[in-house]
Amino acid sequence: MSDFITNIFEQQFLQNAIIAGLLSSIACGMTGTFVVVKRISYVGGGIAHAVMGGIGAAFYWNINPLYGALIFAVISGLLIGLVRLKLKENEDTIISALWSIGMAIGIILAYLTPGYNVDLITFLFGNILLVDSQSILILLVVDVVIISFTFIFFRQIIYTSFDKEYAFVRGIKVDIIYYLMLIMVALTVVILVQTVGLILVISLLTLPSAIARIFSNSVLKMIIVSVLLVSVFIISGIYFSFSFNIPAGATIILVAGMVYFLTLLASYFRILSK
């Protein structure tokens, strides 16, 4: 442990990883809470995999993969919203379509780019230990956007999720709020692709907030608890990953998953003992 702490002060990459982890936890805890209460985790899954197309395209045209990911994420989020609100269809089909089409585009474009496979793996499984300072800057900007959205539209988001019909009667623009939530999910997914990789995004987006849900009777409390949990998961994930030399993303998810099941078990026994 003390070894880890000395290393944090000496190693730039560990500092970057921890800063990126803390930045991710803010976005993740906020958006994750909305995703859990509105029950749209599959939207997160769909967008995460669609992002692969953007990453492949970025490799192919040789730009920063984060920009490719951002563009694809936001477009898929808006498409999901359009299908839901304008065509009045369920989202499932469009989500599965985006999920696999995005992957397919990514695989083909990456294949056509020489030397692709190492980088691609990084985005599939994430590697927070490789985050550079330019990516941290992008994380910071995206974080500021998500925090502002959350604060400014807090009540409208909550009320739209809680009772859409009445929110509409109150004059809230429920469709715009829904698009806003989708954009928040898209932005958060892009952040988390860095941290845990696109395959594991859904878990980090939903598990902490699902744990927080058990202890919270308000959305605000859920957000605070989620942000704390995500940062604990990410930092301890980085610690284990560094100490045992195992992949960081997967380690973070395992920590989160273990805590989730322990909490479920604990709350089950609490109900039993009542």
152 binding another protein? (CB under 8 A): yes
Least Cβ distance, residue 67 to another protein (angstroms): 30
If one asks whether residue 166 binds another protein (CB under 8 A), the answer comes out as yes
Listed ranges 1-9, 16-24, 37-45, 116-124: which one lies at the site for another protein (CB under 8 A): 37-45
Q: What whole-number distance in Å separates Cα of residue 170 and Cα of residue 162?
A: 13
Nearest to 73 by CA among 103, 92, 46: 46
Nearest approach, Cβ of 43 to another protein (angstroms)? 16
Strand segments (E) across 98-211: none
C-alpha to C-alpha distance for 250 and 127, rounded to whole angstroms: 9
Q: Are 72 and 51 in contact (CB under 8 A)?
A: yes
264 binds another protein (CB under 8 A): no
2: contact with another protein by CB under 8 A: no
Interatomic CA distance for residues 238 and 59, integer angstroms: 27
From residue 158, alpha-carbon distances to 165, 195, 250 in Å are: 13, 27, 32
The residue from 13, 129, 164, 257 that contacts another protein (CB under 8 A) is: 164
119, 174 Cβ separation under 8 angstroms = no
Binding mask 49-78 for another protein (x = CB under 8 A): ------------------------------
Taking CB under 8 A as the criterion, the residue among 30, 103, 167, 185 binding another protein is 167
Kindly state whether residue 145 participates in binding another protein, applying the rule CB under 8 A: no
Q: How far is the CB of 173 from another protein (least distance, A)?
A: 6
| φ and ψ at residue 240, rounded to 5 degrees | -65, -40
Per CB under 8 A, residues contacting another protein are: 37-39, 151-156, 158-159, 161-173, 213, 216-222
